[in-house]
């Protein structure tokens, strides 16, 4: 077996996790009570995602650009943690907007790493590397889609992420958020905005295969056009002050 064949065949040796609906439901209840409890997101992913990460890795290998990224196997979190480098990127670029977004929101790539380090994505394995790449690009997806860190923005992004990855955990969170949003104290098109997130995910280019390091210096509007990410009119129509009420606590 040559090296190239080994890279393709190796993921088959990873066991496929069984779906644990009970664990996923309990984690979803905790997450809907506290949207910032990122540990519960990873618990839901662990319980429900099954073979989706492996399937995504093989899809990546089937593209010329994705094959190059898999060969290089760059750790995206390391690059995104280089704040000095991000500071050199021009105003209005994806990287500059990402830097401001994470600074304002108080989120860091290392924060996600620390929360998820008990899952299989910490393994030295090609499929685990792909899982880390999805994890570490999460806030880049926030920035490129225009979804904020409020509860509605998170719900829209998980619906978008399900359309992109077919990972069942994302769909589970999106559906839970949509049901709970019906109890929101204000009458806003929250469910329609979440559905819009899914539709945008289906219409956009496949984000896991994008070379994010190459895109970071480019104007963010150019990046959005390249990725097929048009505006989100329903999400945008909801006042910023009310987006946090999309998934009420309790």
Contact 151, 33 (CB under 8 A): no
Angle of the 21-33 helix axis to the 168-181 helix axis, nearest 10: 50
The structure tokens 């995206």 sit at 76
Distances (CA, A) of 131 to 12, 60, 185, 207, 221: 15, 12, 37, 13, 27
Which pLDDT value is given to residue 1? Answer: 35
Interval 164-181: pLDDT, tens: 999 999 999 999 999 998
Stated pTM of the model: 0.88
Query: Residue 125, CB half-sphere, CA atoms under 13 Å: how many?
Result: 18
Range with lowest mean pLDDT among 24-38, 130-144, 185-199, 205-219: 24-38
Confidence of residue 12 (pLDDT cuts 50, 70, 90): very low
Contact 43, 19 (CB under 8 A): no
């Amino acid at each position: 077996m040559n090296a190239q064949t080994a890279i393709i065949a190796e993921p088959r040796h990873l066991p496929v996790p069984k779906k644990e609906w009970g664990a996923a439901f309990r984690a979803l209840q905790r997450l809907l009570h506290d949207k910032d409890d990122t540990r519960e997101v990873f618990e839901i992913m662990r319980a429900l995602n099954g073979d989706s990460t492996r399937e995504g890795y093989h899809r990546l290998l089937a593209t010329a650009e994705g094959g190059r990224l898999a060969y290089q196997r760059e750790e995206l979190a390391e690059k995104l943690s280089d704040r000095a480098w991000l500071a050199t990127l021009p105003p209005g670029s994806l990287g500059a907007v990402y830097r401001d977004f994470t600074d304002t929101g108080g989120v860091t790539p290392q924060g996600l790493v620390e929360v998820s380090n008990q899952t299989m994505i910490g393994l030295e394995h090609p499929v685990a590397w792909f899982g880390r790449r999805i994890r570490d690009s999460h806030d880049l997806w926030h920035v490129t889609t225009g979804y904020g860190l409020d509860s509605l923005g998170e719900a829209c992004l998980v619906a978008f992420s399900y359309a992109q990855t077919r990972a069942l955990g994302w769909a589970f969170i999106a559906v839970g958020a949509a049901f709970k949003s019906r109890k929101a104290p204000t009458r806003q098109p929250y469910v329609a905005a979440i559905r819009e997130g899914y539709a945008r995910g289906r219409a956009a280019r496949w984000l896991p295969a994008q070379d994010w390091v190459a895109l970071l210096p480019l104007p963010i509007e150019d990046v959005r056009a390249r990725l097929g990410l048009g505006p989100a009119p329903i999400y945008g129509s909801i006042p910023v002050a009310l987006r946090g009420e999309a998934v009420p606590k309790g």
